[in-house]
Amino acid sequence: MELNGIKPAEGAKRARRRVGRGIGSGLGKTAGRGHKGQKSRAGGFHKIGFEGGQMPLQRRLPKRGFKSRQLKFNAELSLAALERLGASEVDLLTLKQAGLVGEMAKTVKVIKSGAISRAVKLNGIAATAGAKAAIEAAGGSVA
């Protein structure tokens, strides 16, 4: 095979649509633009969402909510998941290796969901007040 012999696959290239080239082409006269109106004119078009001067939908609806860009770096962990992990010392790397938090997580917080019975020491991991109380009651600590 030579560079000058390379061709696209059969049927991969289609001829471009040549409008306004006679009746037989099927795209003659108005060239697929219909009759009159803004869309039939050269350069006559409007921005996306334009509704002919009516207040556009995205402006009629109320503004609501906010999605933080930091969410992907935050993760939460339940007491039940911590119990299942079965490690005595837990840090961010341990949780990532166990697959309990995402690879992009930078901060992890333990929430009081479920129960814990074994002593666990948390290093560099935050906990809610209720989760902290449950961990300390089981003989663990939050650092």
Same-domain status, 40 and 75: no
- Name the pairing type of β-strands 121-122 and 141-142: parallel
Q: Are residues 89 and 33 in the same domain?
A: no
Q: What is the CATH number of the domain that holds 80?
A: 3.100.10.10
Note whether 86 and 129 are same-domain residues. yes
Strand order in the sheet with 107-111: 74-78, 107-111, 126-127
pTM: 0.55
| Tens digit of each residue's pLDDT (9 = 90 or more) over 52-107 | 899 999 999 999 999 999 999 999 999 999 999 988 999 999 999 999 999 999 99
